[in-house]
Amino acid sequence: MRMVAVVIDDDAENLNILAGIFKELCPESLCICFLHPDEALRVIANELKRSPDYIFIDVNMNVKGGTDCLRYLRTRKELNECKIIMFSAVMPHAVIDAFKSLGADDAFQKPTSKCYYKDVIKNVLNDCFKSNDIRKIA
């Protein structure tokens, strides 16, 4: 079964970058991108045939913030096995710890270049794979 990742970010350029990184790292993966957090939450809760393996959420969105999305998603029992990863332009360690206390599996600061972005995503996926005893991404 192929990996399913959902990305929620109100920045279309960032969505395109992340979708490209997923396609490059895991060509068999399905990456579903949402510009609107409310639409993402509705689709995840009601319309997906299976829960995503990963949900990446931008912290700073205009309409609904990433923290609200995280809180809502962690109330959904069907998403207990889903890895939720938060990201932002600025992500101090104290904020990472706060997100983890709210139920995030990981959090990271958005890198300034696509090359570094790919490395960060690869590390996040590999860390999650380690916890699930799944193969590492090359």
Provide the pLDDT for residue 130: 53
Q: Is residue 27 part of a domain?
A: yes
Q: Is residue 137 part of a domain?
A: no
Q: Is residue 138 part of a domain?
A: no
Nearest residue to 88 via CA among 28, 31, 5, 9: 9
Q: Write the CATH number for 9.
A: 3.40.50.2300
- Consecutive H or E run containing 41: helix 37-46
Q: Are 57 and 70 in contact (CB under 8 A)?
A: yes
In terms of residue numbers, what domain contains 116?
4-132
Q: Are 29 and 23 in contact (CB under 8 A)?
A: yes
Q: pTM for this one?
A: 0.90
Low-confidence ranges of the chain (pLDDT < 70): 1, 128-138
Q: Is residue 100 part of a domain?
A: yes
- Total count of domains within the chain: 1
Provide the pLDDT for residue 113: 82
Q: pLDDT (tens digit, 9 = 90+) per residue, 27-64?
A: 888 999 999 999 999 999 999 999 999 999 999 998 88
The C-alpha angle 3, 55, 12, rounded to 5 degrees, equals 105
